[in-house]
Structure 1
Amino acid sequence: MGPHPAVADVRRAVREALADLPQGALVLVACSGGADSLALAAATAFVAPRAELRAGLVTVDHQLQEGSGERAVSVARIGSEMGLGPSEVLTVTVGTEGGPEAAAREARYAALSEAAERLRAAAVLLGHTRDDQAETVLLGLARGSGTRSLSGMASVAAIYRRPLLGIPRATTVAACGALGLRPWDDPHNEDPRFTRVRVRRRVLPVLEAELGPGVAEALARTAAMAREDADALDEWADSAYENCALSDIGGSVRLPVTELEKLPGAVRRRMVRRAAIAAGAPSGALSATHVLAVDRLLTHWHGQKAVDLPGGLSAVRRYGTLIFAISPIP
Structure 2
Amino acid sequence: MTDILEIARRQVLGEGRGLDREQTLRVLTLPDDRVPDALALAHDVRMRWCGPEVEVEGIVSLKTGGCPEDCHFCSQSGRFESPVRSAWLDIPALVRAARETAATGATEFCIVAAVRGPDERLMAQVRDGVKAINDAVEINIACSLGMLTQAQVDELAAMGVHRYNHNLETARSHFPNVVTTHTWEERHDTLRRVKAAGMEVCCGGIVGMGETVAQRAEFAAELAELDPDEVPLNFLAPRPGTPFADRPVVEGAEALKTIAAFRLALPRTILRYAGGREVTLGDLGTRDGMLGGVNAIIVGNYLTTLGRPAERDLELLTELRMPIKALSRTL
Compute the TM-score of the two structures, normalised by the length of structure 2. 0.29
Of structures 1 and 2, the one scoring higher in RCO (CA 8 A, sep 6+) is: 2
The structure that is helix-richer by fraction is 1
